[in-house]
């Protein structure tokens, strides 16, 4: 039976890197929107 470790590594790393990126971007999105809201509250 052949060893497919490289393919497994590629698949898992793509999967988890993209999920981590998604969480990271979502967190940034949330903090940015909160900042914006605070600015508006201060000004208006």
Partner 1 sequence: MKNIFINPGQLNKLSEFLSPWLAIISFIFLIFGLWLSFFYSPIDYQQGNAVRILYIHAPSAWLSMLIYSFLAINSFFGLVFGHVTAFTLARAAAPIGLTFTAICLVTGSVWGKPMWGTWWVWDARLTSVLVLFFFYIGYIIFLKSFSDFTKGEKFSSILSIIGIVNLPIIKFSVDYWNTLHQPASISKFSSPSIHIDMLIPLIVMFLSFLFLFLYILILRFQAELIIRKININNMKFYKDS
Residues of this chain that bind partner 1 (CB under 8 A): 1-5, 7-8, 10-12, 14-15, 18-19, 22-23, 26-27, 29-30, 33-34, 36-37, 40, 44
Rounded Cα distance between 28 and 4, Å, is 36
Structure tokens, 14: 């793509």
Rounded Cα distance between 15 and 44, Å, is 43
How far apart are CB 16 and partner 1 at their closest, in Å? 8
Rounded Cα distance between 37 and 44, Å, is 10
How far apart are CB 5 and partner 1 at their closest, in Å? 7
How far apart are CB 19 and partner 1 at their closest, in Å? 7
């Amino acid at each position: 039976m052949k060893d497919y470790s490289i393919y497994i590594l590629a698949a898992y790393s793509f999967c988890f890197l993209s999920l981590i990126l998604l969480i990271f971007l979502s967190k940034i999105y949330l903090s940015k929107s909160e900042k914006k809201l605070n600015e508006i509250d201060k000004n208006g």
